[in-house]
Amino acid sequence: MSDSKARLSIGDTILELDKLEATVGQPAIDIRRLRADAGHVTFDPGFANTANARSEITYINGAAGELRHRGYQIEDLAINCSFLEVAYLLLYGKLPNRTELEAWELDISTHTLLNEEMRSFFDAFPRRAHPMAVLSSATNAISTFYDVYRRPTRKQEIDSGARTLIAKMPTVAAWAFKKSIGEPYVYPDNNLDYVENFLHMMFTRPVEDVPIDPAVVKALNVLLILHADHGQNCSTATVRAVGSSRANMFTSVAAGMGALWGPLHGGANQSVIEMLQVIHDDPDATIDSTIARAKDKDDDFRLMGFGHRVYSNYDPRARVLKSYAEDVLDRMETSDPLLEIARELEAAALADDYFASRKLYPNVDFYSGIIFRALGFPERMFTVLFAIGRIPGWIANWMEMNSDPDTRIMRPRQLYVGETARDFVPLDQR
């Protein structure tokens, strides 16, 4: 048998399956004919062993703790680029030159305004509405103002849909926040850059002009880059699943936001701070008792911000964030007792055999919340910030899926373990 084939024997049937080579990383075994040729399906809950697509966007080496977008190391991008530069890279496969970047920044900055009718949309939500729910609903709602985005087919329509989503997300997020604290919405200012504009809409109040701190702009820029894409994770797979029915980009991304919100995914950044706060406030909740709870199989509590489906090593984004958290607090001349607790908790977990044997390390969410707090964001906005960062990754995947001739509507099989045929029992005999 050649090296390009894998052999699978099921009873008397021997199947030779093609191996599909990756440019780097694990090859795949092509099982697309398995059901038809051998009458079996594969069983892989959570798709941990299943490649859902061919992708050229992001490469992760979980064992080595490596993350690259379009071939570039995340560390290089985080230090040297603006968020919009990385967004361009994800969407179009190359770093923009100066002319391209300026045109892209101008295009984004001149599409930040929401249709004025959207004000009533925000007004309709209760004040206590979680901003993630508002963000996801608004993402869908924006498309209702543009008929062309309902079924974009031409490249130009898809590109302008991408630009619209990236441009308007900070406005939506800031308005969701303003609504939740009962302050008037602040309109975007096209003279500001992407991150400055977001901070302006978040923190400006009618009674005071809050100056924008360049240290905050820099830190938020890095944070958005670190969240920009991460392969076929839960929310991106959701975007692809919804988009595979040819649903439009806005609806697909809105669904991805729902997936991101869960505490086992992007919602973990809020849960980490809540966990650290409990350790800080509650004398009964110590580092040791928190670790003990996380290890207790009768308790569904998990150490938030620890563990990852793909990394069996330190998440490279967490490594950048850990040193950054310290730096940001220093530059802002502030301190946070939760940072010290986080460091102690991390050290205790890494020294514990339970975490070491399962290769559980801090993930991106472990330190990001501490920085978001230092920058002045309330906890309810943490996952929203993650979502703004992830928009380019979701869109890039939606675009890639749309142009891939191998894309099929998402339709997994199941291993049926329910009742076999039963005789119907009329209502009065049950």
Residues marked active site are found at: 308, 365
Counting contacts by CB under 6 A, is residue 305 touching ligand ACO?
yes
Counting contacts by CB under 6 A, is residue 303 touching ligand ACO?
yes
Binding part of the chain for ligand ACO, among 114-122, 147-155, 165-173, 358-366 by CB under 6 A, reads 358-366
- Tokens 């919100």, residue? 261
* x/- letters, 360..379, toward ligand ACO (CB under 6 A): x--xxx--------------
Counting contacts by CB under 6 A, is residue 302 touching ligand ACO?
yes
CB 260 → ligand ACO: shortest distance, Å? 8
**Which structure tokens are listed for 49?**
């062993």
CB 146 → ligand ACO: shortest distance, Å? 30
Counting contacts by CB under 6 A, is residue 10 touching ligand ACO?
no
Q: Report 133-162 residues binding ligand ACO (CB under 6 A).
A: none
Binder among 223, 228, 304, 401 for ligand ACO (CB under 6 A)? 304
d(CA 206, CA 185): 9
**Which structure tokens are listed for 196?**
């400055």
Q: Which residues pair with 22 in a beta bridge?
A: none
Counting contacts by CB under 6 A, is residue 382 touching ligand ACO?
no
199 contact partners, CB below 8 Å, separation of at least 6:
212, 216, 217, 220
d(CA 200, CA 292): 43
Judge contact between 349 and 291, C-beta under 8 A: yes
Helix (H) or strand (E) holding 332: none
DSSP letter for each residue of 132-158: HHHHHHHHHHHHTT-GGGGS--SHHHH
Binder among 17, 268, 318, 396 for ligand ACO (CB under 6 A)? 268
If binding means CB under 6 A, how many residues of this protein chain bind ligand ACO?
18
CB 158 → ligand ACO: shortest distance, Å? 26
| 174 class by beta-carbon count within 10 Å (0-12 exposed, 13-18 middle, 19+ buried) | buried
Counting contacts by CB under 6 A, is residue 393 touching ligand ACO?
no
Closest to ligand ACO by CB, 85 or 365: 365
* x/- letters, 237..266, toward ligand ACO (CB under 6 A): ---------------------------xxx
Counting contacts by CB under 6 A, is residue 275 touching ligand ACO?
no
CB 358 → ligand ACO: shortest distance, Å? 4
78 contact partners, CB below 8 Å, separation of at least 6:
222, 225, 226, 320
Counting contacts by CB under 6 A, is residue 307 touching ligand ACO?
yes
265 contact partners, CB below 8 Å, separation of at least 6:
233, 234, 235, 259
Closest to ligand ACO by CB, 66 or 159: 66
Counting contacts by CB under 6 A, is residue 231 touching ligand ACO?
no
Q: Tally helices (H) and strands (E) across the chain.
A: 18, 6
CA angle 313, 67, 274 (to 5 degrees): 60
Closest to ligand ACO by CB, 40 or 302: 302
Counting contacts by CB under 6 A, is residue 65 touching ligand ACO?
no
- Which residues form the interface with ligand ACO (CB under 6 A)? 264-266, 268, 294, 302-309, 358, 360, 363-365
